[in-house]
Amino acid sequence: MDLTGEVRLAADRETVWRALNDPEILKQAIPGCESVEKLSDTEFTAKVVLKIGPMKATFSGKGTLGDLNPPNGYTISGEGQGGVAGFGKGSAKVELSDDAGQTVLRYTAAAQVGGKIAQLGARLIDATAKKLADQFFVKFAEVVNGKPAG
Amino acid sequence: MAENVGIGASVLRKEDFRFLTGRGTYVDDINRPGQLYAHILRSPHPHANLKKIDTARAKQAPGVIAVYTRHDVNEDKLGGMPCGWGVKFKDDTPMKEPAHPMLATEKVRHVGDPIALVIAETRAQAKDAAEQIAVDYEILKPVPTINDAIKPGAAALHTEAPDNVCYDWHIGDKSAVDSAFGRAHKVAKLDLVNNRLVPNAMEPRAAIGDFDSANGDYTLYTTSQNPHVIRLLMGAFVLHIPESKLRVVAPDVGGGFGSKIFHYAEEALVTWAAGKVKRPVKWTADRSESFISDAHGRDHVTHAEMAMDKDGKFLALRVQTLANMGAYLSSFAPAVPTYLYATLLAGCYATPAVYAEVKAVFTNTVPVDAYRGAGRPEASFLLERLVDVAAKEMGMDRVDIRRRNFIPNSAFPYQTPVAVQYDSGDYFGTLDMALKASNWSSFRDRQQEAKKRGKLRGIGISTYIEACGVAPSNVAGALGARAGLYEVANVRVNPTGSVTIFTGTHSHGQGHETTFAQLVADRLGIAMDQIEISHGDTGKIPFGMGTYGSRSLAVGGSAIVKAMDKIVNKGKKIAAHLLEAAEADIEFKDGKFSVAGTDKSKTFGEIALTAYVPHNYPLDVLEPGLDETAFYDPKNFTFPAGCHICEVEIDPDTGNTTIITFTAVDDVGRVINPMIVEGQVQGGVAQGIGQALLESCIYDGNGQLLSGSMSDYTMPRADNLPNVDVSTHVTLCTHNPLGVKGCGEVGSIGSPPAIIGAIVDALSEYGVKHIEMPATPQRVWQTIQAAKGKKAA
């Protein structure tokens, strides 16, 4: 299932674009994120604690930024191993546009899980992914401009 | 006999005292001194190349004794998991039989495929350490379903089978069938799916490997239906341990339903590991692990056609089936959709020509193998649904078309066009009994009454046949079986006259300890409390093939009878000596050896004592002791058959189906214990209801198991089950000494087509021809909506 949504940010497009490429900001925005380490301009590693249904696991994985189109958007994708819990992967296509001095961020995200986490929580994954995506962009907006704009 | 405990008596189950008071001994109840715990790291990916497996950190983790991977398996030159039945392609070439490693080697092929064995002081430490194993996967495109597997260009699971086809097999006379279709008055056609099931025995699998370093003996405690088969397969093919150095114990086992027939990697892993670390190693599956490591059942996609003449007589049947083997060949998987399925496609009908083609394919799913009924539920579901469609096609009544095509009672023994020969049966008799018991003739009144309440009421019927007690060893061997199929019994009469029976069959809920004791009480005339049934330990039992395919009484019981005959014959010799009479004049009845026509007699106990204290004994011509062993090889399959009738009500607003009544009339041959037979039928029907209404194993397009827990895989519960009205109609099996046929699987074989037939009947006003299993409320509701849409358009 693809998840879509949008948030308005009280900052110009350049500022938002820089924030989207800042590991520190990503770390603050990614739900359950314990660490982010930048490997290059488009690659980073991260450690994320996720809870899906009855399962809670620490995922260690790699994130990449692709389809780079500064300052209009990119695709952020990640794939993490959760040990015996299985694995999770997801990606979000992010598009930025100007609107009355603010920036509108639209996203289309997809998530997939495997192994035990899928076995026990597959029926919850869509709801969980939606919640995580919402949390990410709300938090991202807060970090960028103190609080979400409208 | 003072009490009625012999054949035909509903004796209360001896074993229930320990089961109902929580005093059974299951594998997980057993703990060996110094025992370690194993955890198995399993693949979360359905299909991937296994690159680097780094166990260095796991080996350093607290409490860890050892971590084993493919590297160690190779180093110790262990074998892979063997397959016990070879099936051939149409052109007589052997099936594709790819290696099935204990621990994945170059690839993983299903979610749950074992990769590493972690052994630690505690279960938690083993689990924690498994988290520390770093596995580098190269993800491959998954092939989760039959239809994915046969698509041109589909990724191949095994290099040996580049098209994912394990075999493409056939049976029957194709040209006779084609010619019959050429002259058919009408042809009924049906496409259907036999849904994939997860067995879910109440007790998850468990295994303890134990090694006695003083003399090099291995012991495996395991949740198995056939410990000798495990010893044979594991000793000979996997671990290369001589059987004399390997003991396999299957103590109380909490349900198997087929899923505990097979030799699983975990059994071999703990046995091997125990020898390496020189301490006992225990593994117990949790429920989640069972879902991805126990062999699944069914999973067929079939197209079938029945040709009929103008009177509705069946001329020929044509069947094409695709069967899912899963990722690897489980122990008996190839036989299930062939010799246990297509050979039953004649059903109870005198169809003169049958031709079936079965293509078995590999997919990135858990291996599929025998599950309660094994092939016969697939056959009965297909055939009985097709007969319903044929009746509709002909504008005939469902009962009439069956009667018209039944094999007449005078035709037995009846040779079917698909290799098997039915020895006995009375399909008219079981049908008539079931029609009467279910009040079939007044159904339309009940339907009208339901309609007034806004409910759709339907009635369904199935007149099934199945085959049990497989089979003469030489016949099975010619068909690809790689083991014998006889059974073994040792009857040990103890010096004071009590009797211990050692049987090669295994009881895991069936009540053998009672049924078999009844055979002994009946034949030897001794009290039930003087009889002990011992099973499940290769250290005690001479040999055996275990319990599956409802064979225990037909084959194992016959072996007991054969051994008791030897006991009685020897007893007569001893009695003749003591009573100073000719052996030919000695009669044995009600526990007494007597000289015919006189009042001179010796009790069974006196003869036993004489045999063990042979002071007055013909030592020159007779060995002391009273202990006999028999091997019984069946002369044919047995063919239980019956009629199941189900009545349902559907709420059209919700699609919810309620089973109102369920009538089962089964011919299982002679009934030893009617209460146990009733229980077996009820349990089987419960599983049939599960398959028909609730259970479905689903993999998503990425090869992940979606129905992987009890939250998503719906097992039948008490409120889904009706009061099953069970009765029997006996025709005796003609070729075993007890006349028995087997009752363990009839419930799960006969019931699904009756249930689905009832739902289709209830939905007949919408023009519904068939509905797939499980007929969940959602599926029924959608079927109603689709039909309404069609009507409107």
B45 and A87 in contact by Cβ < 8 A?
yes
Please indicate, yes or no, whether residues B462 and B516 belong to a single structural domain of this protein.
no
Instruction: Answer whether residue B734 is part of any domain.
Output: yes
From residue B385, give the alpha-carbon distance in Å to each of B310, B457, B545, B741, B770: 20, 18, 34, 25, 8
B704 and A114 in contact by Cβ < 8 A?
yes
Say if residue A84's pLDDT is above 90.
no
Q: What are the structure tokens assigned to B719, written together?
A: 């409120």
Burial group, residue B70, by CB count within 10 angstroms (0-12, 13-18, 19+): middle
Q: What are the structure tokens assigned to B675, written together?
A: 């209460």
A84 and B130 in contact by Cβ < 8 A?
yes
Look at residues B607, B632, B657 and tell me which one is the last residue of a structural domain.
B632
Burial group, residue A100, by CB count within 10 angstroms (0-12, 13-18, 19+): exposed
Helix, strand, coil percentages in chain B from 3-state DSSP, rounded to 5: 35, 25, 40
A122 and B704 in contact by Cβ < 8 A?
yes
Per cent of chain B over pLDDT 70 is 99
Please indicate, yes or no, whether residues B622 and B654 belong to a single structural domain of this protein.
no
Q: What are the structure tokens assigned to B194, written together?
A: 């036999």
Q: Which domain holds residue B658?
A: 300-470+636-792
Residues of B in contact with A122 (CB under 8 A): 700, 704, 706, 708, 712
The secondary element (H helix, E strand) that includes residue A49 is strand A43-52
* Cα(B628)–Cα(B713) distance, integer angstroms: 48
pLDDT at A133: 85
Instruction: Answer whether residue B185 is part of any domain.
Output: no
Please indicate, yes or no, whether residues B592 and B640 belong to a single structural domain of this protein.
no
Per cent of chain A over pLDDT 70 is 96
Q: Which of B302-320 are b and which e, b meaning 16 or more Cβ less than 10 Å from the residue's Cβ?
A: bebbbbbeeebbbbbbbbb
Burial group, residue B655, by CB count within 10 angstroms (0-12, 13-18, 19+): buried
pLDDT at B1: 45
Instruction: Answer whether residue B152 is part of any domain.
Output: no
* Cα(A76)–Cα(B165) distance, integer angstroms: 40
Q: Please state which of the ranges A55-64, A115-124, B544-553 shows the lowest mean pLDDT.
A: A115-124
Please indicate, yes or no, whether residues B272 and B128 belong to a single structural domain of this protein.
yes
Say if residue B343's pLDDT is above 70.
yes
* Cα(B356)–Cα(B417) distance, integer angstroms: 11
Mean pLDDT of B607-627: 97
Instruction: Answer whether residue B682 is part of any domain.
Output: yes
Please indicate, yes or no, whether residues B464 and B339 belong to a single structural domain of this protein.
yes
**Local confidence band at B3 (pLDDT 50, 70, 90 cut-offs):** low
Please indicate, yes or no, whether residues B697 and B747 belong to a single structural domain of this protein.
yes
From residue B429, give the alpha-carbon distance in Å to each of B414, B435, B463, B643: 17, 10, 11, 9
**Local confidence band at B791 (pLDDT 50, 70, 90 cut-offs):** confident
More confident residue, A88 or B442: B442
pLDDT at A149: 43
What lies within 8 Å, CB to CB, of B200 at 6+ separation is B290, B713, B715
> Which of A56, A112, A116 is the best substitution to test chain B (most B C-beta atoms within 10 A)?
A116
Nearest Cα residue in chain A from B39: A84
Phi–psi pair at B713, nearest 5 degrees: -110, 115
Look at residues B293, B313, B348 and tell me which one is the last residue of a structural domain.
B293
Taking alpha carbons only, the member of B745, B710, B749 closest to residue B200 is B710
Say if residue B84's pLDDT is above 70.
yes
Instruction: Answer whether residue B476 is part of any domain.
Output: no
Using one digit for the tens of pLDDT, what is the confidence trace for A18-57?
A: 999 998 898 999 899 999 999 998 999 999 888 877 778 8
Instruction: Answer whether residue B597 is part of any domain.
Output: yes
ipTM score of complex: 0.84
A113 and B704 in contact by Cβ < 8 A?
yes
Taking alpha carbons only, the member of B80, B22, B407, B394 closest to residue B234 is B80
What lies within 8 Å, CB to CB, of B319 at 6+ separation is B302, B303, B304, B305, B342, B345, B354, B355, B356, B357, B382
Say if residue A150's pLDDT is above 80.
no
Say if residue B647's pLDDT is above 50.
yes
From residue B761, give the alpha-carbon distance in Å to each of B256, B388, B389, B447, B656: 34, 10, 11, 10, 15
Mean pLDDT of B654-664: 98
Say if residue B441's pLDDT is above 50.
yes
Mean pLDDT of B501-526: 97
* Cα(B177)–Cα(A21) distance, integer angstroms: 70
Q: What are the structure tokens assigned to B520, written together?
A: 């002994």
* Cα(B374)–Cα(B667) distance, integer angstroms: 19
| Domains (range + CATH), chain A | 2-145 (3.30.530.20)
Mean pLDDT of B649-664: 98
Contact B680, B457 (CB under 8 A): no
Please indicate, yes or no, whether residues B223 and B332 belong to a single structural domain of this protein.
no
Amino acid at B399: V
Please indicate, yes or no, whether residues B62 and B127 belong to a single structural domain of this protein.
yes
Nearest Cα residue in chain B from A84: B131
Taking alpha carbons only, the member of B456, B739, B485, B523 closest to residue B633 is B485
Q: What angle do CA B88, B90, B95 make, to 5 degrees?
A: 30
Q: Answer positive or negative: Cα dihedral of A32, A35, A39, A42.
A: positive
Please indicate, yes or no, whether residues B619 and B654 belong to a single structural domain of this protein.
no
Nearest Cα residue in chain A from B711: A120
The secondary element (H helix, E strand) that includes residue B790 is helix B777-792
pLDDT at B635: 96
Say if residue B2's pLDDT is above 50.
no
pLDDT at B427: 98
Number of domains in chain B: 3
* Cα(B792)–Cα(B739) distance, integer angstroms: 57
From residue B570, give the alpha-carbon distance in Å to each of A106, B1, B85, B623, B625: 91, 22, 39, 10, 10
Instruction: Answer whether residue B480 is part of any domain.
Output: no
Phi–psi pair at B540, nearest 5 degrees: -115, -40
Cross-strand partners of A104: A8, A97
Say if residue B113's pLDDT is above 50.
yes
Look at residues B598, B617, B632 and tell me which one is the last residue of a structural domain.
B632
A118 touches chain B (CB under 8 A): yes
Burial group, residue B328, by CB count within 10 angstroms (0-12, 13-18, 19+): buried
Alpha helices in B670-721 (DSSP H): 674-689
More confident residue, A84 or B191: B191
Please indicate, yes or no, whether residues B329 and B454 belong to a single structural domain of this protein.
yes
The beta-carbon neighbor of B288 closest among A112, A114, A120 is A120
CATH of residue B104's domain is 3.90.1170.50
Mean pLDDT of B507-521: 97
Burial group, residue B430, by CB count within 10 angstroms (0-12, 13-18, 19+): buried
Classify B626 as helix, strand or coil. coil
Instruction: Answer whether residue B309 is part of any domain.
Output: yes
Using one digit for the tens of pLDDT, what is the confidence trace for B267-293?
A: 999 999 999 999 999 999 999 999 999
* Cα(B649)–Cα(B690) distance, integer angstroms: 17
Strand residues in B43-145 grouped as ranges (E): 48-54, 64-68, 107-108, 114-120, 134-139
**Local confidence band at B13 (pLDDT 50, 70, 90 cut-offs):** very high
CATH of residue B625's domain is 3.30.365.10
- Residue ranges of A 82-111 with Cβ closer than 8 A to chain B: 83-84, 86-87
Q: For all residues of chain B together, what is the average pLDDT? A: 97
- How many residues are present in chain B? 793
B127 touches chain A (CB under 8 A): yes
Please indicate, yes or no, whether residues B445 and B333 belong to a single structural domain of this protein.
yes
Using one digit for the tens of pLDDT, what is the confidence trace for B222-260?
A: 999 999 999 999 999 999 999 999 999 999 999 999 999
pLDDT at A1: 60
Whose tokens are 């509903």? That residue is B10
Q: Which of A108-137 are b and which e, b meaning 16 or more Cβ less than 10 Å from the residue's Cβ?
A: ebebbbbbbbbbbbbebbeebbbebbeebb
Burial group, residue B496, by CB count within 10 angstroms (0-12, 13-18, 19+): exposed
Cα Rg of chain A, angstroms: 15
- Residue ranges of A 19-48 with Cβ closer than 8 A to chain B: none
- How many residues are present in chain A? 150
The beta-carbon neighbor of B44 closest among A86, A120, A122 is A86
Please indicate, yes or no, whether residues B711 and B624 belong to a single structural domain of this protein.
no
